[in-house]
Amino acid sequence: METPRKKADGSTTRTTTTKQAGDAAEGAALAHLQGQGLRLLTRNYRTPGRGGGEIDLVMREPGGTLVFVEVRQRASRDFGGAAASVSHFKQRRIIFAARHYLMRLPQQPPCRFDVVSVEPGGIQWLRGAFDAS
């Protein structure tokens, strides 16, 4: 939902919510990865219950590797930018969700954890941004 905001001259303008900005960044990341040949399997995979984790995009490379993707969006590159905002705690939650996702499969394919950062100036795809060890 857009939120009206008063400008200095008294008129109003609409601002984009954080959710809308996040959804747009996720859509841009998805289009970028699909353009690189990856196929979407699941979007916004969540583990059941509280305290679990979420994976923004679960994709498969043409060679069969399963790719768990965290999408991060920032308005500036200050403080290391979007990719630097994937903390150790956030990585643990993504890994937890990935393990839950993999339990449903009959056999475990090769896997990787990537981060796609969406910032002013473009999209950056970091393959193998972190691992499950």
Number of folded domains in the chain? Answer: 1
Strands (DSSP E) along 1-133, which ranges? 3-6, 12-15, 39-46, 54-60, 66-73, 111-119, 122-130
Choice between 50 and 43, residue whose per-residue pLDDT is larger = 43
For residues 83-88, average pLDDT: 76
- 3-class DSSP state of 20: helix
pLDDT digits (tens, 9 = 90+) for 10-32: 655 556 677 787 788 889 999 99
CA distance 12 to 116: 33
Task: Judge whether 35 lies within some domain.
Answer: yes
Report the CATH number at residue 104.
3.40.1350.10
Task: Judge whether 12 lies within some domain.
Answer: no
Please give the residue range of the domain that contains residue 105: 19-130
Average predicted confidence (pLDDT) for the chain: 85
Task: Judge whether 14 lies within some domain.
Answer: no
Task: Judge whether 70 lies within some domain.
Answer: yes
* Amino acid 4: pLDDT: 55
Task: Judge whether 56 lies within some domain.
Answer: yes
